[in-house]
Structure 1
């Protein structure tokens, strides 16, 4: 009887560090594989629809194609979210809500972290004014080639940020934080990996994303809620799209 009680009273914990890293690697591998498959399928479809097209040039421009970006982001992100939920559910001693930080937050917390994000934007603006980086070619070409903008907005402002935050500030964050690396390791490692996977940008913007990732990680730790990082991430992407639109209009 005492053994049963001890088992029931066991503190809910996420997967260990190495299992967490392994499962996260599986999620990213599946996501990237789906993106590759969809990219090949997209290329084949265009080949049949447009026989005279220069396939070599078109293939080089696929990375900037807004329609393909929307398609691959939505489908691969939804698959990634499904895998995250699966890996959390097979960890029997903890709920999905506690594991991923699906916790309520107060209006005060939202306001405070919106102020912190505003500070990040101000610093980014000042640094960009001093450094004068080239506007991201990726965003400019992606927006110009996105013929169905609702899907483009859905992918970049909602589905993409939702998946990335559930993985990095949710699943991966929880596993690292519960290990010997603690909260500091969880914040820094998730921010670093998240920044590195955005290889479509140059070094300046990757470093900028690193600092944003640190901010999102701290928000996740202090509020205990994944919703704040999701909101700030979505807001950041929305502002990036607005900035892209203004930049394109300025050129024309």
Structure 2
């Protein structure tokens, strides 16, 4: 028998890692989103405390509207998000990198993702011009230009071009997509639902820009599936945000 022959050991198949399914992923998604919120609010609370003022809602709103403070808030949401995701994955006994598909994509995959992203953005840009709308949400335009004028350009660039893409992609195309794609939703449902969740994160925009965010999310979800790489969507997300930030702060009218 081959199983008793040392020259022909029996084949072993590595067990699939345990994955949170639909409800487990949804509930942990709420916990992760809450952790992101705690990290962001914690940064604002610290700034209020450091300035010696009363820690109340009015003070938090006032400081939270400052470009540098808002950027720090976005940045501090990243470590708390990663910690919550790590805990959820750890409880399943799975590898953090494998669970989130932290694999480097090929250049062809990155090129395809970037070209597709460019096409989606150009379509929405054309529609915006045809409708006489701004191509960038006014709230972001005001924030970025105010930050540039107040010397906060670098921290804003880091926050929105690196910290925000990592936090949001780890949650949406990382944790949520992984669990939901292995539930009854399968891949198409996971792409749609994770894109909806990602869109909800951007409720500061109006419905038009939310529709654009959703479409970009669908493309990111497809590339996450096609390349089986979260690093790819993180890079695409970072590229999209970096381009928007640079154009708005230095090249926009």
What TM-score bracket applies, with the shorter chain setting the length? 0.7 to 0.9
Structure-2 residue corresponding to 1:75: 76
Classify 1:63/1:199 alpha carbon distance in 2 versus 1 (closer, same or farther; 3 Å). Answer: farther
Deviation at 1:83, TM superposition (A): 1.5
CA deviation after TM superposition for structure 1 residue 9, in Å: 5.2
The yes-or-no answer on 1:118 pairing with 2:123 is no
* CA deviation vs aligned residue, 1:65-85 (integer Å, no higher than 9, x gap): 211121111111121112212
- Separation of aligned partners in 2, 1:63 and 1:137: 17
Does the CA contact (< 8 Å) of 1:77 and 1:163 recur in 2? Answer: yes
For these two proteins, the number of residue pairs brought into alignment is 237
- Note the C-alpha offset of 1:246: 4.5
Q: Does 1:19 align with 2:24?
A: yes
Q: Distance in 1 between matches of 2:66 and 2:103?
A: 36
Counterpart in 1 of 2:157?
A: 153
Correspondence list, 1:1-252, <5 A: 10-43=15-48, 45=50, 48=53, 62=63, 64-92=65-93, 94-134=94-134, 135-143=136-144, 144-145=146-147, 147-246=151-250, 250=253
> C-alpha displacement at 1:148, in angstroms?
2.9
Unpaired segments ≥5 residues, structure 2: 1-9
- 1:163: Cα distance to partner? 1.3
CA-CA distance at 1:59 after TM superposition: 6.1
Give the deviation of 1:106 after TM superposition. 1.3
TM-score by length of 2: 0.84
Q: Which blocks of at least 5 consecutive residues in structure 1 are unaligned?
A: none
Using the TM superposition, give the Cα deviation of residue 240 of structure 1 relative to its aligned residue in structure 2, in angstroms. Answer: 1.2
2-structure distance, mates of 1:213, 1:67: 27
Which stretch shows the higher mean deviation, 37-46 or 205-214?
37-46
Q: Pairwise CA RMSD of aligned residues?
A: 2.5
TM-score, structure 1 length as denominator? 0.84
Asked whether the equivalents of residues 69 and 142 of structure 1 are also in contact (C-alpha less than 8 Å), the reply is no
Deviations 1:77-124 (A, max 9, x none): 1211122122212211x3222210112321111111111112112211
